[in-house]
Amino acid sequence: MNTVATPLPARSRVARIYFSPARIGIYVFLLTAALFFLLPLYVMLVTSVKPMSEIRMGNLFAPPIELTFAPWRDAWESACTGLACQGIRVGFWNSVRILVPSTIVSIAVGALNGYALSFWRPRGAGVLFGILMVGAFVPAQVMIYPLVRLLASVHLFSTLPGIVVIHTIFGMPIMTLLFRNYYIAIPQELFKAARIDGGGFWRIFGELVLPMSLPIIVVAVIMQVTGIWNDFILGLVFAGTKNLPMTVQLNNIINTTTGERLYNVNMAATILTSVVPLAVYFVSGRWFVRGIASGAIKG
């Protein structure tokens, strides 16, 4: 009888909660907070589709009277970064060329490290892992100059492979931590069974461990794509002038002042630059939260 009777009061309690003053208060607060954080994006979007004449009037929040997409085209094709006036697209493709190999290589290295550290546990694995983790907390600025010398000595400084190596190195601690923590939760017996079945290092990695890693690979891709896309300092220092990423180009566009500041073009260029991480967040917010949780809390 009990089991039949209990759901009814529970359901009516749920219904009451939706309309309680406290609930309404919470929603009002959340809505206000959301609007507040969306305001800058709104201003950027609105400004980017106004002609300069409207912007000069100074109504920051006013919607455009004369809708124009010319600033977007200018930002993409003809905005000037210093002397070159080819728009931000050059930076976009540079960033893509940096992003794709850097993401793949850094995740591959992280997965392999995590696999070796959690399953094979070579002698000194704990110490190695400790050193890697310390590496994650050393400020990047400290390492820049030694790394410049190092890359220069192997002729990789100011090249595309050079910046890929740099992103792999800086991504290694967090990628290793992410994969190690994921693998450590997989029962050792699985790995032992595969060893008895004759699997070697690569065979077990490729046929058993990697297919099981799909969820964490998705998380790693999200983290690396946003991280590498948003990078400024590493790209500026290591990529070389031919490969400067979009973030650096954006800075150059905005800081190139010849005559009037083209706020609408600047806004359009900024939105274009943030499209990739924004898209990643929108498409995969849930995975991203899971990744943060598994990387930061479980360690």
Partner 1 sequence: MIMANAANVSINNLNIRLGTNQVVAGLNLEVEPGEFLVLLGPSGCGKSTLLHTIAGLIDVESGNISIGQEDMTWADPKDRRIALVFQSYALYPTMNVERNLSFALRVHGVDKQEIERRVTRAADMLQLGPLLRRKPAQLSGGQRQRVAIGRALVREADVFLFDEPLSNLDAKLRTELRRELKQLHQNLGATMIYVTHDQVEAMTLASRIAVMRSGMIQQIGTPAEVYERPANLFVATFLGSPPMNLLTGTLERDGQAVRFTGGHLACDVSHYTFRMPPMPGTPCVLGVRPEHMRVDPAGPHDARVALVEPMGNHRIVWLDYHGVSLAIVDRGRQPIALDETLRFSFDGEHVSLFDEESGQRI
Q: How far is the CB of 189 from partner 1 (least distance, A)?
A: 4
Q: Which of 195, 252, 263, 288 binds partner 1 (CB under 8 A)?
A: 195
User: Which CB, 157 or 191, lies closer to partner 1?
Assistant: 191
Q: Which stretch binds partner 1 (CB under 8 A): 120-128, 154-162, 203-211, 291-299?
A: 203-211
Q: Which of 51, 101, 199, 277 binds partner 1 (CB under 8 A)?
A: 199
Task: Report yes or no: 140 and 208 within 8 Å, Cβ to Cβ.
Answer: no
User: Which CB, 77 or 197, lies closer to partner 1?
Assistant: 197
Size of the site for partner 1 (CB under 8 A): 16
User: Which CB, 63 or 200, lies closer to partner 1?
Assistant: 200
Q: How far apart are the first and last CA of the chain?
A: 46
21 binds partner 1 (CB under 8 A): no
Distance from chain centroid for Cα 180: 20
CB atoms within 10 A of CB 268: 27
User: Which CB, 122 or 259, lies closer to partner 1?
Assistant: 122
User: Which CB, 82 or 126, lies closer to partner 1?
Assistant: 126
Give the whole-angstrom CA distance, residue 220 versus residue 14: 38
Q: Which of 203, 217, 256, 290 binds partner 1 (CB under 8 A)?
A: 203
Nearest to 183 by CA among 223, 213, 214: 213
Q: How far is the CB of 169 from partner 1 (least distance, A)?
A: 31
89 binds partner 1 (CB under 8 A): no
100 binds partner 1 (CB under 8 A): no
Q: How far is the CB of 203 from partner 1 (least distance, A)?
A: 6
Nearest to 167 by CA among 250, 93, 224, 128: 224
- Name the region of 59 (left: φ>0; alpha: ψ -120 to 50; beta: rest): beta
122 binds partner 1 (CB under 8 A): no
Q: Which stretch binds partner 1 (CB under 8 A): 70-78, 105-113, 182-190, 273-281?
A: 182-190
Give the whole-angstrom CA distance, residue 184 versus residue 24: 44
Stretch 231-250 residues interacting with partner 1 (CB under 8 A):
none
Task: Report yes or no: 132 and 262 within 8 Å, Cβ to Cβ.
Answer: no
Q: How far is the CB of 294 from partner 1 (least distance, A)?
A: 18
Q: H helices then E strands: how many in the chain?
A: 16, 0
Q: How far is the CB of 207 from partner 1 (least distance, A)?
A: 8
Contacts of 142 (CB under 8 A, 6+ apart): none
- Name the region of 80 (left: φ>0; alpha: ψ -120 to 50; beta: rest): beta
Interface with partner 1 by CB under 8 A: which residues? 187, 189-190, 192-199, 203, 207-208, 211-212
